[in-house]
Amino acid sequence: MKLFASESSLLMSSATSFDFFLKPIFLHGLYASLHLVLLLSLLVLWVVNRVNEAGGEGSKERLRQRKVFWYKQTLACCFIVSAFNIVLCFLSYFYWYRNGWSEDKLVTLSDYVVKTLAWGATCIYLQCQFSKSGEQKKFPFLLRIWWVFYFSISCYCLVIDVVLDKKHVSFPSLYLVSDVFSVVTGLFLCVVGLFGRNEGEDTLLEQPLLNGGSSVGKGVELSKKKGGDAVTPYSNAGIFSILTFSWMGPLIAAGNEKTLDLEDVPQLDNSDSVVGALPNFRNRLESADSEGSGVTTLKLVKALFFSAWKDIFWTALLAFMYTVASYVGPYIIGTFVQYLSGRREFKNEGYLLVTAFFIAKLVECISQRRWFFKLQQVGLRLRAVLVAMIYNKGLTLSCQSKQSHTSGEIVNFMTVDAERVGDFSWYMHELWLIALQVALALLILYKNLGLACIATLVATVLSMLANIPLGKMLEKFQDKLMESKDKRMKATSEILRNMRILKLQGWEMKFLSKIIGLRNVEEGWLKRFIYTNVMSSFVFWVAPSFVSVATFSACMFLRVPLDLGKVLSALATFKILQGTIDSLPDTVSMIAQTKVSLDRIASFLQLDDLQPDVIEKLPRGSSDTAIEIVDGNFSWDLSSSSATLQDINLKVCHGMRVVVCGTVGSGKSSLLSCILGELPKISGTLKLCGTKAYVAQSPWIQSGKIEENILFGKEMDRERYDRVLEACTLKKDLEILSFGDQTIIGERGINLSGGQKQRIQIARALYQDADIYLFDDPFSAVDAHTGSHLFKEVLLGILSSKTVIYVTHQVEFLPAADLILVMKDGRITQAGKYNDILNSGTDLMELVGAHKKALSALDIVDAGSVSEKIISEGDGATKCANGKMEKEENQGNEIGKVDDVGPKGQLVQEEEREKGKVGFSVYWKYITTAYGGALVPLILLVQILFQIFQIGSNYWMAWASPVSSDVKPPVGSFTLIIVYLALAIGSAISVLARATLLNIAGYKTATLLFEKMHLCIFRAPMSFFDSTPSGRILNRASTDQSAVDLNIPYQVGSFAFSVIHLLGIIVVMSQVAWQTFIISIPVIATCIWYQQCYISSARELSRLVGVCKAPVIQHFAETISGATTIRSFDQESRFQETNMILTDAYSRPKFHIAGAMEWLCFRLDMLTSITFAFSLFFLISIPEGVIDPAIAGLAVMYGLNLNILQTWVVWTICNMENKIISVERMLQYSNIPSEPALVIESNRPDRSWPYHGEVRILDLQVQYAPHMPLVLRGLTCTFLGGLKTGIVGRTGSGKSTLMQTLFRIVEPAAGQIIIDGVNISSIGLHDLRSRLSIIPQDPTMFEGTIRSNLDPLEENTDEQIWEALDKCQLGDGVRKKEGRLDSSVNENGENWSMGQRQLVCLARVLLKKNKILVLDEATASVDTATDNLIQTTLREHFFDCTVITIAHRITSVLDSDMVLLLSHGLVEEYDFPARLLENKSSSFAQLVAEYTVRSKSSLATE
């Protein structure tokens, strides 16, 4: 009790030299009197308020709650002052009880008692006044006056302390500590009381964004139900509820009654939601980057710190209180052992010591729980604002920036890097806390062991220094690990997007091997990372033993006498120091990882945005000109010497229809991009007057309802909505769907055909009612009839008064334009009216000539005779079989999806999650995956050995040390140290073996789970990908895989190790006081009950976290792919709001998991602290000599950590169950039913099969699921070998289903398909698909090179590849590129035009040289000239092959030898095209006549 070392009598003896006002008796008397007045005043105030409340009827409904500025912090401050004074009261009482009383000591003690009561009463008063939802403007006047008095008197006392110290007058240093504390708290209260202002806080209207109308059908309903509207009780909780976490009670109770869903989880408080936190963070970041030089890591860290500095300060204060309280035990354990051995200073010393132990444990418990919860709260908030910043940045990225970071990499910024910055909050105080803990440990050791503590310091510093190189290695390996993971996720994302193509081509296993190869690189860095972690763990597990050996050896050399009390105090200190040193490797590792993540996020936020000055926007109605470009030069790559668009001069007036045409790659789409502001400007001016709407060439459809896609953020206007549906021929489609326009569209529109997607995005544009409309080849994905209808109703109808610019390859749409722009090589080569430029140049002549050539085949038909009949039939109403819509003819590579998977079920369901307890089978599968679980017994064995060595070494030191320095020790000091050293070496070897074995098992398990899951996913049928958004799969491949790689082995290991440790302590404690376990039984039973209450809620909350994460990823991935469309409609802010809502939906269960964990830990801590106190009371009540002081002391030393360890055991059980859900989720996707065998060895076709290409279809019946109607209803026909067959039919006739069945994407329900005598159902899928070729509707290219795109299986030579490229006239274009065959292809082939991508698909089939070729609308997105090129190439090189074509362009079908017309899943017509055309009443003749009427009428102006 060094603070009390000086007797107050010394102060009194010098009283003659001081005035009476300087005497402690006066100061403490005055202090006590004032506090007594405060106490009485508060009582009077409370009575008055109660009377007032009873007299008036207060309004119970208030829409707005105002809280006084820093109310909660003020409440906490008052509570801390009260707690501090009660500690001073107890310390003073027990110290003076032993050393005698005096008058001024009694006054001082009275002062502490009154202070405790007064500040406690202040807490209660504040809680009563402010916990109600009344409008309290300021703190009561009385309190504010009191705080000023309190601060003034505290300053006065502190000045007196300084004066006395200067005069060298001794006084208890406790007075100085008390006065400094009073000045600090008084200053805080004065600032709050005098300058406090209202803090407006909406309670009922807290989150206006949460009621936003945009629902995203991604597994999380944005519309809130039931409890989902309520704000978390934490926001209005009182001080008692906050300290005990009682505010979590209702949610935990609900979790025990039912399975929690997202609507049961309350909303976040405004300060914790991203809606409330983002503006503050953005302001901080902008002020940090005031010079505008861009975001750096340092600026990002500053902004993060200052946006949460208040909470960081409070957590630092709580951490300080916890640390000081945790060292009280080691400080007084020596005195306690002396008491047990009979050396008692005064009568009730034992009770004083037990009380001190218990109060220290109480402070430790309360401060630690609040500290941990606050840290997680800060981490969640920081993570959320980073996710929002990354998302917002992704919306504004320029084209070049987007090329440097693919969507897969940006997903990792959100899922991994932002998450890690959030997790770093756990470690933010660790460095200075470690320094504080070491300093406190050295003080205690110096008191007990003198200069030997220098050895402790040196050993501790050496242990810490050993970690520096390991930390650097960890940072390097973490960086490389993240890079390799980015590459893998990027490839996985691309493959999932294009899985249909891979399956049609039979390439999925090749691409799986690519993913496995990328994973192998990742595993290489993972292996280095975890083995470096092994060394790091070894160094720091051994460090405490090394420190203790060094310290005791120093004691031996310095001849410091060691008695039992000193040894146990030192061992207890080393035990705390062990936790300190042990946390350092994790801290260093986390700092390294967080720095890497912050660097990555900062570098992403630094990327260039779209040029803001590309477009000069004029006010609406201010100009007659809608679009004007003067001397415009634009380039996708500003570093390139040649511009994408050159010398563009264009003036478009309001109401004009402008058509842009040209050959493939001429710059048509780039011109639209430039008008949208997407294309970087080199020079020139671009002016735009009015709002714009855009329809992209590749449809971008959002996951969600069809209605939401069309409204796109606008309010519903039913009349306008119906008119738009009518114009886009969507009404019939919606009638067929079970849910109409409420049908949820799957990811990327997987349950819609290409034409439906195109018409929905046209409807979206129309509904916006913009001034300027930009269409990029809108009619390519729809059939001839629908194209005519759209042109007439949309361009010539609804948009007749609007400015419209449309790109088209279809020449028949040219004459209706007011202005035609012909493009070639990035320049506008011709501009004018149709007839004018047709006569003046050659570029348009090429296109028109190709079209005329195609039309010449139709001259044999007299179109007029049937044209009226056709036109009178209406708008090509969609027909269906049994009310079930199949597919539109333009199915493309989206072929064969069904709109719903059940009679009344949406295709995309909410993400599945297990419910209830995680089954033992999940744990069993996890621990037995690697080597059949053979390493598990070994790991447990070395942990038991480690525990035996640890307890043995401590027992040895306790047994071999004398009770006091005047008793002869049982062994010599040299023997003492040597045996202790041997035991320490044994524990070091054990911990190294444990860490190595655990990491080997964890690494092997992660590898096997990865391979199994990916094999199952790649072998899954297409129906799985159609109904599963890729975000769910990516979540498992990214977040869950990370958990299995880096977290779960340590969680499972930690559980086993802590249980063994706990059992060891129980064994030691039972040696001395087995009776204490009588109370332990009900305590343990209560602990188990609490744990069961907690786990049922926490488990479901943890699962909700997993389910709520996928929508954030999926929404972001969709946003990146549709960023151009979103920007063109000026919808960025709405998408940002949706992202914030989804982010908060993810944060809500995370926040309440943290609250639930601390709710449990607080209760466990309190129970174990009570058990420990009971054990100590039992020990001091036993007569002296009954028990061995050494064993008793050892039991107390271990008992000091009992509450921490028992809490740790329960925490690891719960945390393990929460984390093991990642394994559960991966196992879900490791048991997907797979497609039939890829190869059936017993029934493999000949190498030369198919020989002729004859396809016989016998009574083919196909349905998409057993409960659904048949789509093909007994179809029978034969495609003769070597003939070209065209398949036509209206929407839903079954064309695409037939193609899918041919490739066995869908298996027949009955009937057969026989190719050259082989039943295709009897051979392996790869044998079948590799012998068939297909050119899909949406041309797909993968990131890589031209070579890897054409020949991923590496079956062809370079010569063969060049030959194929030359045949489809791509050879010259590829030769011009620097890399030639190794020229790079960006993600999705974005650096190649749509037409070029289509030609690459043609080159693929030329390389395969198969006897059967399927063209699934292969020419829908190319101009007529390119179409003719493709047809010519096919005629030349596939003259002896069976070619099956589904096409919109009737010319493509007319070129066929046979035409098959399907209707309602049956053959309606199948004959030679000429014969069908002769019959004017045939359905085929009507289709041809319709096309001819449209084409010839549009060209009649020639």
Tokens 């096997």 belong to which residue?
Answer: 1008
3-class SS letters over 1124-1147: HHHHHCCCHHHHHHHHHHHHHHHH
User: Which residues contact residue 1100 at a Cβ distance below 8 angstroms, ignoring those fewer than 6 apart?
Assistant: 255, 259, 260, 915
- Tokens, residue 1244: 């493999």
Q: Give me the pLDDT at residue 218, please.
A: 40
Collapsed DSSP state (helix, strand, coil) of residue 779: coil
Q: Give me the pLDDT at residue 105, please.
A: 67
- Tokens, residue 503: 């399956």
Q: How many Å apart are CA 810 and CA 661, to the nearest integer? A: 9
- Tokens, residue 511: 């691409």
Could you list the mean pLDDT of each consecutive 10-residue stretch along the chain, which spans 1502 residues?
A: 36 41 61 69 64 45 42 76 76 61 68 78 73 54 75 79 71 72 81 57 32 36 46 82 86 85 85 85 80 78 85 89 86 78 72 85 89 90 90 83 73 82 86 84 81 83 78 82 87 86 86 90 91 83 81 82 76 74 72 85 84 81 84 80 81 87 80 85 86 84 83 85 85 76 70 77 87 83 72 83 83 79 83 75 59 50 35 31 33 34 46 61 87 88 89 79 68 78 88 90 91 90 81 84 86 86 77 64 78 82 81 84 85 88 89 88 84 78 70 73 74 78 87 87 84 87 79 86 83 79 88 88 87 80 78 76 79 72 71 75 82 71 66 79 76 78 84 83 78 54 39
Q: Give me the pLDDT at residue 1209, please.
A: 81
Q: How many Å apart are CA 1255 and CA 1458, to the nearest integer? A: 13
Q: Rounding to the nearest 10 degrees, give the CA dihedral for residues 943, 944, 946, 947.
A: 120
With beta carbons less than 8 A apart as the criterion, state whether 1020 and 1232 touch: yes
With beta carbons less than 8 A apart as the criterion, state whether 846 and 1441 touch: no
- Which H or E run contains 1446? strand 1442-1446
CB-count burial class (<10 Å; 0-12, 13-18, 19+) for 72: middle
CA angle 139, 141, 146 (to 5 degrees): 95
Which of 680, 682, 681, 691 has the alpha carbon at shortest distance from 627? Answer: 691
Q: How many Å apart are CA 1296 and CA 888, to the nearest integer? A: 8
End-to-end Cα distance, the chain: 109
Q: How many Å apart are CA 632 and CA 630, to the nearest integer? A: 5
Q: Give me the pLDDT at residue 226, please.
A: 37
What are the residues facing 1344 on neighbouring strands? 1385
Query: Residue 503 corresponds to which amino acid?
Result: K
User: Order of strands, edge to edge, in the sheet holding 625-634?
Assistant: 616-618, 681-689, 625-634, 645-653
Q: How many Å apart are CA 796 and CA 208, to the nearest integer? A: 41
Q: How many Å apart are CA 524 and CA 736, to the nearest integer? A: 53
Which of 1, 987, 960, 949 has the alpha carbon at shortest distance from 555? Answer: 960
- Tokens, residue 1306: 């869908």
